[in-house]
Amino acid sequence: MSEPTTLRIPTPHGEVSARWNPPAGPPRAAMALAHGAGVHRDHPSMNALAEALAGRGFAVLRFNFPYTEAGRKLPDAEDVLVGVWSAVWDRFRVRPETAGRPRLAAGRSMGGRMASIAASKLPGFDPDGLVFFAYPLHPAGKPERLRVDHLGRITAPMLFLSGTRDPLAERGRLEAEVGKLGVGARLAWLEGADHGFEVLKRSGRTAAEVLDEALDAMDRWLDGVVSPAGPRA
């Protein structure tokens, strides 16, 4: 893999920092990747994910939201998060490295949900696919409060990667909701994984193995659902 580089991206809500992780050779696809609510772009889990993606031939741009840029713990308001996603996407989609390749919008937990909101209502937010690493279907302990109203308005293919022990994605409800989204939506379960893709020691598996399993499912989705249609102009 090539060395990552750091850049600054202007947004309507101030500049945010980002890190570009290129693969060793020509990328097979490019991904803009947002962090979850409790971490930042350089959290160990984000580093591991970006490095694993680059190792599989993905060019990855991961970025901070304003609150993490400022060192705050409380996430920004939804309109700020979506506005930053839009600004990052505008910069990401014109990078020469992404030309002629599938462009994916992805995120862990909250970061993925904000990408889905942007894709549901912003005309210029036009990913060839969306990848959700642990989509937060509902708050913990409140499975009736579903965060799904906007998903049916998304036209791009979607992949939900979810752990079977995730308290923010009750299995039956997530299966039912993804089933409503049509043939372009896929769901892959990660056995024994929680919301952070961690597993219990007694499972005999490691977090690295869970991540490999998730990326294997993403590879199949990319080759079988996204790539045949080709990237958008």
Of 207, 188, 169, 213, the C-alpha closest to 44 is 207
4-53 confidence digits (pLDDT tens): 899 999 999 999 999 999 998 999 999 999 999 999 999 999 999 999 99
* Residue-level pLDDT at 1: 57
Q: Which residues pair with 104 in a beta bridge?
A: 31, 129
* Residue-level pLDDT at 182: 87
Contact in structure between 55 and 136 (CB atoms under 8 Å): no
DSSP code for 173: H
Q: Which CATH code is given to the segment(s) 5-229?
A: 3.40.50.1820
Tokens linked to 37 = 């609510």
* Residue-level pLDDT at 4: 85
> Between the CA of residue 195 and those of 86, 163, 217, what are the distances in Å?
25, 6, 17
Looking only at the bridges linking them, the beta strands covering 129-133 and 5-9 are unpaired
* Residue-level pLDDT at 233: 54
* Residue-level pLDDT at 219: 95
* Residue-level pLDDT at 230: 64
* Residue-level pLDDT at 229: 61
Q: Which residue positions in the chain have pLDDT lower than 50?
A: none
CA-CA distance, 10 to 188, in Å (whole number)? 35
